[in-house]
Amino acid sequence: MSKIEDLDKLPDEVKEAIHEVANCYHYIGFLMKYGLLTNKQAFFEEGGDTFLRIYEIIQPVIEKERKNG
């Protein structure tokens, strides 16, 4: 899926799952911003590539929500 317009065609369950993943990313950012995630290096060593790949996948959804928000 490469077009933002295609996002509207996703089943509601998939849209909700993507939203939940995006919320997790937001929470991780919050923890980092306020110094509550104390070992950032270990966090990214464990799942860095996975986190980046997931973000690439859900980025269109995040951009659409920001635009419509």
For 4-20, what is each residue's pLDDT tens digit? 667 778 898 988 888 88
Contact 7, 67 (CB under 8 A): no
- Whole-number Å distance between alpha carbons of 41 and 56: 21
Tens digit of pLDDT for each residue in 1-60? 456 667 778 898 988 888 888 888 888 888 888 988 887 777 777 777 887 788 888 888
Q: What pLDDT is attached to residue 34?
A: 93
Contact 44, 51 (CB under 8 A): yes
- Whole-number Å distance between alpha carbons of 17 and 13: 6
DSSP SS3 for 62 = helix
Q: Which residue has the tokens 């490469």?
A: 2
